[in-house]
Amino acid sequence: MNAKQILTTLMMVLALIVVGSTAMAADMPEQVSLDTMVELFDAVEFDHEMHTELGEDCSVCHHHTTGTGTTDDRCISCHANSDELATVACVNCHVIDPFSSEQLSQKSQEIYRFHIDKPGLKAAYHWNCIGCHEEMDGPTGCEDCHARTPEGDAFYHKDATGHADEGSNH
């Protein structure tokens, strides 16, 4: 590798860092509406800006996709220096329908896939939110984050007023 090649590489890396950081700053949303699966519960208006101030770095939630490296022992061997991805929204990796027949057949066709146990979007949200909230005394009840819809009330049989019948369980 001669001096010119080294210089070119360095320039490219520098350019990537600059582009990456400006893109990150420009694209980072203040508020994210988590509304892709609204049915039983209303959308969650997620205060992204507030959470970025709490988190030590982006990788706590965004893993290796924001170009900020990762500290997770399980990820570091492949993703210590991963570049920022074009899209970093949760839904870009965590699908809404992880168990649909399309997803499952795609999964079984990709026999060299390493990430065979990637959670769907709903689980990715809940693990991230509840896990952190438990540690930091944030809200953890269902309706602390999203209000239940009338469909949700019917689904959980809100109006059931009977009492537990001790004798019914044989």
Partner 1 sequence: MSGISRRKFLAASVAAGAATTLAGPKKALAVGSFSGYPDSMGVLVDLTRCIGCRSCEAACNKEQQLPDPNLPFDDMSVFDQTFHHGTQKRRTDESAYTVVNRYKPEGRDPIYRKVQCNHCAEPACLSSCFVNAYTKTKEGAVIYNGSVCVGCRNCMIACPFNVPAYSYSSAFGPVIKKCIFCYDTRLKDGKPPACVEICPQEALTFGKRKDLLKIGHQRIQTHPGRYIDRIYGEKELGGTHWMYLSPIPVEEVGFDPRPGNEPIISHVKDFLGVVPMVLAIWPALFTGFHLLAKNQEGHDDHEHETGHQQGSGQKHDDEGGQQ
**Where on the chain is the footprint of partner 1 (CB under 8 A)?**
74, 98-101, 104, 107-108, 116-117, 119-120, 122-123, 126-127, 130, 142, 155-160, 162-166, 168-170
- Which residue do the tokens 């001790």 mark? 166
Q: Given the complex with partner 1, which of 23 and 42 has the nearer CB atom?
A: 42
Q: Which two tokens stand for residue 33?
A: 């509406």
Q: How far is the CB of 90 from partner 1 (least distance, A)?
A: 14
Separation between Cα atoms, residue 16 and residue 14, nearest integer Å: 5
Residue placing its CB nearer to partner 1 in the complex, 67 or 125: 125
Q: Give 88's contacts (C-beta < 8 A, 6+ positions apart).
A: 62, 65, 66
CB of 122 to partner 1, least distance (A): 6
Q: What size, in residues, is the chain?
A: 170
Maximum pairwise Cα distance, the chain: 85
Q: Name the minimum Å distance from CB 156 to partner 1.
A: 4
Q: Which helix (H) or strand (E) holds 47?
A: strand 44-47
Q: Which is nearer to partner 1, 99 or 112 (CB)?
A: 99
> Which residues contact residue 94 at a Cβ distance below 8 angstroms, ignoring those fewer than 6 apart?
118, 119, 120, 121, 123, 124
Q: Tell me how far, at minimum, the Cβ of 167 lies from partner 1, in Å.
A: 9
- Measured from the CB atom, is 3 or 116 closer to partner 1? 116
